[in-house]
Amino acid sequence: MSDQNVRNAGFTPSGITGGSLASSLMSHEARASGGGVPSGGPTSTLQEMGARGTTHSSGYTSSGISGGSRAAETMSREATAYGGGVPRGGTTSTVQSI
């Protein structure tokens, strides 16, 4: 994943860009969780990366998720919470797709 992809999606150091993929994701996630964006979810994870400009060390790569990385930890927690699988639209799949 590149910092540019995250910024192009609308996750920037100055916040989420209106009318972007990021704002759509934030809106969808807020509706699904009853009005707020949960900590550790796709929106907050990507916004943190966009604000810091540090996607290169996150473990989300074009070849897949790097073992021992933050991405691997997130995927493991998500798989455990969902009975062994990573849900479509969850943090891991959303962040990996961007």
Do 42 and 55 belong to one domain? yes
Name the band, by pLDDT with cuts 50, 70 and 90, for residue 16: very high
Do 24 and 2 belong to one domain? yes
Do 29 and 63 belong to one domain? no
Name the band, by pLDDT with cuts 50, 70 and 90, for residue 20: very high
Q: Which two tokens stand for residue 77?
A: 């927690």
Higher local confidence (pLDDT), 22 or 54: 22
Range of the domain at 29: 1-36
Phi, psi angles (nearest 5°) of residue 95: -65, -40
Report the number of distinct structural domains present in the chain.
Answer: 2
Name the band, by pLDDT with cuts 50, 70 and 90, for residue 3: confident
- What are the pLDDT digits (tens) for 26-84? 998 888 889 888 888 888 888 888 887 776 678 888 788 888 888 888 888 888 888 88
Task: Please determine, for residue 1, whether its predicted confidence score (pLDDT) is greater than 60.
Answer: no
Q: Identify the pLDDT of residue 56.
A: 65
Do 2 and 47 belong to one domain? no
Do 18 and 29 belong to one domain? yes
Q: Which two tokens stand for residue 60?
A: 């989300």
The Cα 42–Cα 11 span in angstroms is 11
